[in-house]
Amino acid sequence: MKRLASICGFLLLASALYAADNPAQPATQSLAPQNPAAQTSTSPTPASPPMEKVRIKEISEIEGVRSNPLLGYGVVVGLKGTGDTRQTTFSTQMLANILQKMGVQVPAQAIRVNNIAAVFVTADLPPFASPGTSLDVTVSSMGDAKSLEGGTLLLTALYAPDGKAYAQAQGSLVLGGYTAGLAANSHQLNHPTAGRIPNGGMVERPAIVDLQQMPTISLLLRDSDFAVTRDVAKAINDDFKRDIAKAIDGRRVEVSNAAIHFPIPELIARVEDLQVPIQIPSKVVVNERTGTVVMGMNVRLGAVSVLHGGLEIEIATQFTVSQPNPLTNGQTTVLPETTVKVGEQPARRMELREGATVEDLVRGLQSIGATARDIVAILQAIKSAGGLNAELEVI
């Protein structure tokens, strides 16, 4: 009996040790479906567009507070034989009118000079400009002058669209180019027929903008976006602790001053200094004329496969001289011989995976030998295929 008791105790001890090392499993297993929300998904989530905070001043303008274009017609003198020729009659006519105002009577037909040029003068009248404010003016030739280098603009009145003169301009021109030589033996850099006069204009008539007559301020976004107008109105209401701002549409936000009675300049300064979050737009800008492509770094591409090949057509014309036989009445003639060569390059393939970046696209296109103009056509094709997750703008 003692031996049996010791054996039973040994078995119980072994069973306890085994149970401690191996916990018991449930006898039954639930067949009910698990909660899908409790499962952790391992699939990657698409990245949200990047956000950044900017001041309201940087993305909007105040309605009614803007610059106005000015235009004038004048004459540039002091050119070194590079002015208008005799075929440009209005330059000599204007010189005759200027001399007549100074008491010199000279018929326009008798003037034979080539050191003057008729020009258009343009400038922008900033808001709240008062008499004495300096302006930068641009001078552009309107005749057949070759260069305005070394010229001086005579006093010219600048008019607004309402027909009133708001400023005057005069001074020496600063050019960004030059021309040298004559006829075929000449060299030209940039455009020597247009220049600028820094601080060459002066305001003579004030641009009146009465802010006190604006009980409601209208903010106009530079880019239409309903989400941004909503956030702008919310930021203004949260800052003033009152509902004074309201989003009208995707571009306009109206701010009422009736409930707070702030001075208008202080109200505008406080509103423009507020910050709102905006999404950086995904956009691709393409210039077909120059082959320029500008893409943001947040542009993402879908999975696409690009086959790119080239077709080359070469047309060459050579002229040969055909001589007649001796003692004949034939004539020597020149005969053109045209040859056409057509060559097609084998198509090269490039694959892009889902979520490819701009850097991947550029590297891939360069690897298949695509030029800038080829990239323009390829981007348009990728957009049509639905592989470009961005707005494509062709300018």
| Whether pLDDT at 45 is above 80 | no
Phi then psi for residue 2, to 5 deg, are -65, -40
Q: Is 144 helix (H, G, I), strand (E, B) or coil?
A: coil
Closest CA to 232 of 50, 67, 49, 62: 62
Q: Where are the domains of the chain?
A: 68-177+191-203, 211-279, 284-394
Position 33: which residue type?
P
CATH architecture of 211-279: 2-Layer Sandwich (3.30)
Closest CA to 140 of 90, 74, 70: 74
Give, in order, the Cα–Cα distances in Å from 261 to each of 19, 219, 252, 375. Answer: 81, 18, 21, 56
Question: What's the rounded Cα separation, in Å, for the pair 282 and 75?
Answer: 48
Does pTM top 0.75 for this prediction? no
CA angle 236, 241, 243 (to 5 degrees): 65
12-21, 43-52, 74-83, 273-282, range with the lowest pLDDT: 12-21
Q: Which range has highest mean pLDDT (187-191, 197-201, 256-260)?
A: 197-201
- The model's confidence at residue 54, banded by pLDDT at 50, 70 and 90, is very high
3-state secondary structure string, 109-128?
HHCCCCCEEEEEEEEEECCC
261 or 46: which carries more pLDDT confidence? 261
Position 335: which residue type?
L
- The model's confidence at residue 186, banded by pLDDT at 50, 70 and 90, is low
